[in-house]
Amino acid sequence: MGVFEEDDSVKVSTLVKLWVSEGFLKPMNGKSLETIAIEFLQDLVDRNLILVDKVGHTGNIKFVKIHDLLRDLCLNQSKKDGFYHVIGQSSPRGISSQHRVVIPRNTPKKKVLDDLQSMPHARSIISEYGNVPRIKNSGLLRTLHAYKFHHYFEDESLLKSLASQYVNLRHLVVEVGSMSSIFTSFTRLWNLHILIVCCWKEFTAPAEIWRMPQLRHIEMTERSFYLPEPSSDDVVVMENLLVLKSIANFKCSEEVVKRIPNIKKLGIKYFWRGGIEQDDYYCLNNIKLLCKLKSLSVMCWNFRASLYVLTFPQSLKKLNLSINRGFEWEKILGKIGALPLLEKFKLLRGCFGTGKWEMVEGQFPSLKYLELGPCPSLEHWTAESNSIFPRLEKLRLVHMELKEIPTQIGDIPMLQKIWMDYCGESAVMCAKEIVEEQVEIQGEDLPFHVQVKLSCKNEAVQSLAGPNFEVICDS
């Protein structure tokens, strides 16, 4: 924790990836290294050594912090043991033998240059500094985690040498202007576990990526990337691959399914491609075969009929669907509502051809968080029974013009909060009625809270504000 800046809110997934890549964790009882890492982190939280800073919508820890005094202890102990060296600080053992390097964001450029050139045995660089030079003996480097690395790769020769020189890299998190040069010698990175790149141009990954069995996490930010289908001649099964995000026009063929049997998180984006007329060209019905998949995100800005054949594995816990307005949700909501373990569901855009969504008893048995909108075609949201969303804790409605909301929502025993961001007045009034009804039943001390956000002043809505009904106006 000492490698992060003072008062930083540290992303749990970042911490876990670093622990895994540094080799701090060992397999136990058939659990993945990531699962073991979360258990260790929870233990630190339970001991009050690590502070929870932000919790996700389903209760998982997203961000953590460390008390300043404990961070100082980390820094002092690391200096004493030579565990890592923070550039700009003294080291009782000298810096030439240091294996781990931390570069704070405001370090003077000259100090970075001088110290890095004096550290021929560096194995890990964790940096928030933008312009980091190449280091000597870079073949030893195993972890390169940089948040502001764009300037480092402005030199095309440095970019081309990345994959050829850093042959022992396990963890690569960088920002680049182009991926093409990295991929020219990508096949030499046989030890790579984590590949997260912020790239501002779309690109196609090399087919050789299917021959790298150590990969655990592949993700591109800002732009998506195209992943070619594996060749039938390749026999490598990516058993370690758990996360695959930001893939453009992903074709989930049977050959692909066989290569990623243990995938847990999958993020796909679909764009229009002319000349494709088959209903299931992208083989989305095969997603149900990914029997260990827990999180699925599908975004589509150009309507394709093949999306109606989307099928989901029973293991799914999180589902994010953002589809253009021509897509009729009624045709697949039955399949989604039947998922037994689904805890988080975002339904964004799309439309309701009938203008109605009638909840059926027994749907969404495990759902904790539901987000809807913007979906202006949905006007009537009703329920045929009193038993809906038995475990729902949080509901968010965004740019919705609902005329009614199921009154049964107020009866959900685990409900904590309802957000209504820029929704129509009818929906807001309906939510107020739900609150008033529950106040009559339970009293003023309700277990849930409603927060309404307005884009402009609305005296009628603002007058509804009360102890359990908050109204916020942007202007």
Band the pLDDT of 227: cuts 50, 70, 90. confident
Query: What does the alpha-carbon distance between residue 456 and residue 461 come to, in Å, rounded to a whole number?
Result: 11
Short-list 279, 241, 217, 178, CA closest to 14: 217
Predicted confidence (pLDDT) per residue in 45-77, tens digit: 999 999 999 999 999 999 999 999 999 999 888
Per-chain mean pLDDT for the chain: 85
* Span 281-298, pLDDT tens digits: 788 899 999 999 999 999
% the chain with pLDDT above 70: 88
Q: pLDDT: is 66 or 376 the higher one? A: 66
pLDDT reading at 131 higher than 70: no
8 Å CB contact between 347 and 325: no
| Residue 429 pLDDT exceeds 90 | yes
Q: What is the share, in percent, of the chain residues with pLDDT greater than 90?
A: 41
**Arithmetic mean of pLDDT, 391-395:** 95
For the record, the structure tokens of 37 come out as 């890492």
The region of weakest confidence among 183-187, 219-223, 336-340, 408-412 is: 183-187
pLDDT for the residue 9: 93
pLDDT for res 230: 86
Q: DSSP readout, 254-294?
A: HHHHHH-TT--EEEEEE---TT---TTTT-GGGGGG-TT--
Q: Mean pLDDT, to the nearest integer, of 223-236?
A: 82
Q: Is the dihedral of CA 5, 6, 11, 14 positive or negative?
A: positive
Q: Would you state the pLDDT for residue 149? A: 46
pLDDT at residue 337, rounded to an integer = 94
Q: With 70 as the cut, is the pLDDT of residue 35 above it?
A: yes
Contact call for residues 344 and 368 (beta carbons, < 8 A): yes
* Overall average pLDDT of the 139-168 stretch: 63
Taking a C-beta distance cutoff of 8 angstroms, is the pair 400, 378 a contact? yes
- CA distance linking residue 101 with residue 18, whole number of Å: 13
Q: List the alpha helices (DSSP H) in 68-155.
A: 68-81, 109-117
Residue identified by tokens 């591109």 is 220
What pTM did the predictor assign? 0.90
Strands 10-11 and 61-65 come out as: antiparallel
